[in-house]
């Protein structure tokens, strides 16, 4: 499979893909696979395909990947479907194999690999996440970084204020200049020109390698322990006036960049709904294909079906993620009665219902064991007819 590539291949910038997080906010969905290796809707392919596609299109010829939590499925996928797209190879480093404690955070994943990264002789390192659904021109991001002569560039985009607490949020002063950054703030600052939204870090960064190495080395050891980009390295860069923001082009006439972090059940479901329409918001990566399975003759509203799942006839399902391989019986109903849903399934604060095969099996067993209701609540009164009445 060939990908169209950017005309100017970004030389000496090494993409570093973070793919080691547990994805705990997706609960049972990531109990067997890491988040990047999760399916996206009923499409064939994995979430990680979006960022890999953007990386190949930007013309990168190398890729460095940090894995840690349940890496097997991801490694197989990379090997079978992606490695051949990177002319100079894909290097995968697993945190658990590197040391007993593994990578202690996103920045520590880079620090633990400084020697191997040095061997590539990079001028910059571009940090990417394996669990974003995106279509971003990464070559333009690198070009912007180089034009600013700023050691750290963070790709940023606006998000609704209601979800801003899930992200690193920038503060801008009255003149639109960067004045602060807080990781997952309890009270995010709205943007001056759009009070319903806040300016969020996408978790995509370009670092001058010399600057980053020095920052990571200064933050090593239990006393400093600067292990996380959002918590530690970005605030440090801001303090040193070493940080610039690259605002992703936003939504004018469909030409904007598309970026979603699908780290929560709500975000994972909603992003998939964006791709439900015949015309998807951005082109699907070439490794992704249209539905493997579809629900049959059922009423589904706001619901996504993961591969191999199926809804029986006359079923009614609202705002749910139907997990891989789940077979919903004929006439099944979910998403209409909060109490009944919570009895069997996981329900997020934002109202997304997660239905897995294990939950369905538990439900079925419980319902089967439940005593069957008597046909009559009271024993029918025995009336004997007296001979006279007879």
Binding site for ligand ADQ (CB under 6 A): 18-21, 35, 66, 68, 95, 103, 105-106, 109, 129-131, 167-168, 183, 200-203, 229-230, 261, 263
Distance (Å, rounded) from C-alpha 140 to C-alpha 148? 12
Residues with Cβ within 8 Å of 50's Cβ and at least 6 positions away in sequence, in order, are: 40, 132, 133, 134, 135, 285
Distance (Å, rounded) from C-alpha 240 to C-alpha 151? 10
Please, what is the minimum distance in Å from the beta carbon of residue 328 to ligand ADQ?
30
Please, what is the minimum distance in Å from the beta carbon of residue 108 to ligand ADQ?
7
Please, what is the minimum distance in Å from the beta carbon of residue 11 to ligand ADQ?
25
Please, what is the minimum distance in Å from the beta carbon of residue 120 to ligand ADQ?
19
Whichever of 18 and 271 has its CB closer to ligand ADQ, that residue is: 18
Distance (Å, rounded) from C-alpha 235 to C-alpha 330? 54
Whichever of 57 and 111 has its CB closer to ligand ADQ, that residue is: 111
Whichever of 61 and 183 has its CB closer to ligand ADQ, that residue is: 183
Distance (Å, rounded) from C-alpha 163 to C-alpha 15? 28
Whichever of 63 and 334 has its CB closer to ligand ADQ, that residue is: 63
**Site of tokens 């399934």:** 345
Distance (Å, rounded) from C-alpha 44 to C-alpha 34? 17
Please, what is the minimum distance in Å from the beta carbon of residue 164 to ligand ADQ?
9
Whichever of 26 and 139 has its CB closer to ligand ADQ, that residue is: 26
Please, what is the minimum distance in Å from the beta carbon of residue 87 to ligand ADQ?
25
Taking the chain, what is the end-to-end CA distance rounded to the nearest angstrom? Answer: 91
Q: Which of 149, 201, 150 is nearest to 171 (CA)?
A: 201
Q: Which of 176, 110, 159, 177 is nearest to 168 (CA)?
A: 159
Whichever of 43 and 229 has its CB closer to ligand ADQ, that residue is: 229
The Cα-based distances of 222 to 97, 215, 218, 226, 295 in angstroms read: 21, 15, 11, 9, 52
| E strand or H helix that includes residue 259 | strand 258-261
Q: Which of 329, 366, 313 is nearest to 344 (CA)?
A: 366
Whichever of 221 and 390 has its CB closer to ligand ADQ, that residue is: 221
Please, what is the minimum distance in Å from the beta carbon of residue 167 to ligand ADQ?
3
Q: Residue 132 forms beta bridges with which residues?
A: 261
Ramachandran angles phi, psi of 381, nearest 5°: -65, 135
Please, what is the minimum distance in Å from the beta carbon of residue 271 to ligand ADQ?
12
Whichever of 104 and 318 has its CB closer to ligand ADQ, that residue is: 104
Distance (Å, rounded) from C-alpha 135 to C-alpha 45? 16
């Amino acid at each position: 499979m060939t990908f169209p590539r950017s005309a100017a291949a970004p030389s000496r910038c090494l993409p570093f893909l973070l793919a080691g997080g547990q994805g705990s906010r997706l609960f049972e969905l990531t109990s067997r696979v890491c988040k990047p290796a999760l399916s996206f809707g009923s499409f064939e392919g994995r979430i990680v395909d979006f960022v890999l596609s953007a990386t190949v299109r930007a013309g990168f010829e190398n890729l460095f990947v940090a894995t840690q939590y349940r890496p097997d499925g991801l490694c197989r996928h990379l090997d079978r479907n992606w490695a051949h797209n990177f002319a100079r190879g894909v290097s995968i480093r697993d945190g658990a194999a590197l040391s007993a404690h593994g990578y202690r955070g996103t920045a520590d994943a880079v620090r633990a690999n400084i020697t191997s990264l040095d061997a590539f002789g990079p001028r910059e390192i571009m940090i990417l996440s394996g669990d974003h659904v995106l279509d971003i021109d990464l070559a333009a991001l690198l070009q912007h970084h180089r034009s600013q002569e700023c050691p750290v560039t963070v790709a940023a985009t606006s998000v609704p204020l209601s979800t801003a607490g899930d992200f690193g949020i920038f503060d801008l002063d009255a003149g639109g200049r960067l004045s602060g950054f807080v990781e997952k703030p309890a009270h995010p600052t709205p943007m001056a020109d759009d009070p319903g939204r806040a300016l969020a870090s996408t978790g995509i960064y370009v670092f001058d390698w010399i600057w980053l190495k020095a920052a990571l080395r200064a933050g090593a050891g239990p006393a400093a322990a600067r292990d996380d980009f959002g918590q530690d390295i970005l605030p440090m860069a801001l303090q040193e006036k070493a940080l610039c923001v690259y605002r992703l082009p936003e939504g004018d006439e469909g030409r904007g960049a598309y970026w979603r972090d699908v780290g929560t059940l709500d975000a994972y479901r909603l992003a998939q709904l964006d791709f439900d329409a015949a015309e998807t918001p951005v082109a699907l990566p070439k490794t992704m294909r249209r539905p493997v399975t579809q629900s049959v003759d059922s009423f589904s509203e706001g619901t996504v079906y993961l591969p191999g799942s199926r809804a029986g006839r006359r079923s009614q399902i609202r705002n749910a993620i139907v997990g891989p391989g789940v077979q919903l019986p004929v006439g099944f109903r979910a998403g209409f009665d909060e109490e009944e849903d919570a009895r069997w399934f996981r329900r997020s604060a934002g109202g997304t219902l997660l239905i897995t095969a294990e939950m369905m099996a538990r439900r079925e067993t419980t319902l089967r064991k439940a005593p069957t209701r008597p046909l009559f609540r009271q024993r029918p009164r025995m009336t004997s007819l007296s001979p006279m009445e007879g």
